[in-house]
Amino acid sequence: MALYITDECINCDVCEPECPNEAIYMGEEIYEINPDLCTECVGHYETSQCVDVCPVDCIPKDPNHEESEDELMAKYYRVTGEEPE
């Protein structure tokens, strides 16, 4: 399941550089997450880095983009261009 950023975002700029897939970008008013690139850091880290650094806890799982761990891993391979082991 991809993550998304809620309206509670304060545009503090800490999440965007933490994303290994460059899925986070500045939207019209707040940061947003591209669900096609978000793997919840699966393949990179044990936890979602943006969630770990967010000071206002405004990055939940996106119920509109439910994905299993296997689907997130497949997306990781697609996004990074790495080959599955």
- CATH number at 16-80: 3.30.70.20
Distance CA 37, CA 2 (A): 8
Report residues of the chain scoring pLDDT below 70.
none
Query: What's residue 83's pLDDT?
Result: 86
Give the pLDDT confidence of 43-60 residue by residue, as tens digits.
Answer: 999 999 999 999 999 999
Using alpha carbons only, what angle is made at residue 47 by residues 43 and 52, rounded to the nearest 5 degrees?
Answer: 135
Q: Where are the domains of the chain?
A: 16-80
Residues 42 and 8: their CA atoms lie apart, in Å, by 25
**Minimal CA–CA distance to 59: which of 67, 48, 69, 70?**
48
